[in-house]
Amino acid sequence: MIINVKYDATITLKVILQEQLERLDIPHILHGTGEIEVKRSLSSEEMEELTNNLNTYGIQILSDQKVALVQRIKNAINEMLQNDMARSHKVSSYLTDTLNYSYTYLSNLFSETTYTSIENFVILRKVDHAKDLMTNTNLTLTEIAYRLNYSSVAHLSSQFKKTTGLTPTKFQKIVKKRRENRIQQTI
């Protein structure tokens, strides 16, 4: 038997962090961009135990501040794409307001560290989100384009094809065919 699940990675991360920090009795505040404000100094043993506990979930504590800020940029973009209200903002304004750095600084740091631009990362994430919506909902391409703040279905289709090599319609046909094959295999 196959059970398909859908989950929100942001919520999952917050729950795991909350559980592990409470388990170690570490007073803290979770910030929305992958940042934990710890209310006291941690002993080396506590830090090691927290690091090991989080590593079992594939979560790493970042010690390099530039790498940590790049991860915060990625987290903020992911949160923005999940939030209906935030999606309508310009990426540059959203990141500046959320992270309290100039967009020029964030953009330069991101490009220097990841070898791609924030704009390219946003496109990749939006296309991933579009694939998720096409796979897990009955939304039309028009509704998906609107939800992801594209100016038109043509704009979504163009970025989708550049990124995946497939048109959204072809992608939907492949997904439908795979579902039909799974159903046939279970009969």
- Read off the pLDDT of each residue in 50-56 and give the average, rounded to a whole number: 92
pLDDT reading at 150 higher than 70: yes
Residue environment code for 101-116, b if the CB has 16+ CB neighbours within 10 A, otherwise e: eebeebbebbbeeeee
- The domain segmentation of the chain, as residue ranges, is 1-61, 64-115, 119-187
Q: What is the pLDDT of residue 187?
A: 66
Among 16-25, 62-71, 72-81, 126-135, the minimum mean pLDDT is found in 62-71
Q: What residue type is 78 in one-letter code? A: N
Q: Which residue has the higher pLDDT, 185 or 55?
A: 55
What is the average per-residue pLDDT within 45-63?
90
> What is the predicted pLDDT for the residue at 48?
92
What DSSP element (H or E) covers 28? strand 28-31
User: What mean pLDDT comes out for the span 137-143?
Assistant: 90
Sequence-distant (6+) residues with CB within 8 A of 164 are 127, 131, 171
The rounded distance, in Å, linking the Cα atoms of 186 and 14 is 36
Query: What share of the chain has pLDDT > 70, as a percent?
Result: 95
pLDDT, tens only, 107-119? 999 999 999 999 9
User: Of 80, 82, 94, 75, which Cα lies nearest the Cα of 35?
Assistant: 75
Tally of residues, the chain? 187
What are 8-51's pLDDT values in tens digits? 887 888 899 999 999 999 999 888 667 888 999 888 899 999 99
User: Hey, what CATH class is 119-187 in?
Assistant: mainly alpha
Closest Cα to residue 168, out of 149, 154, 148? 154
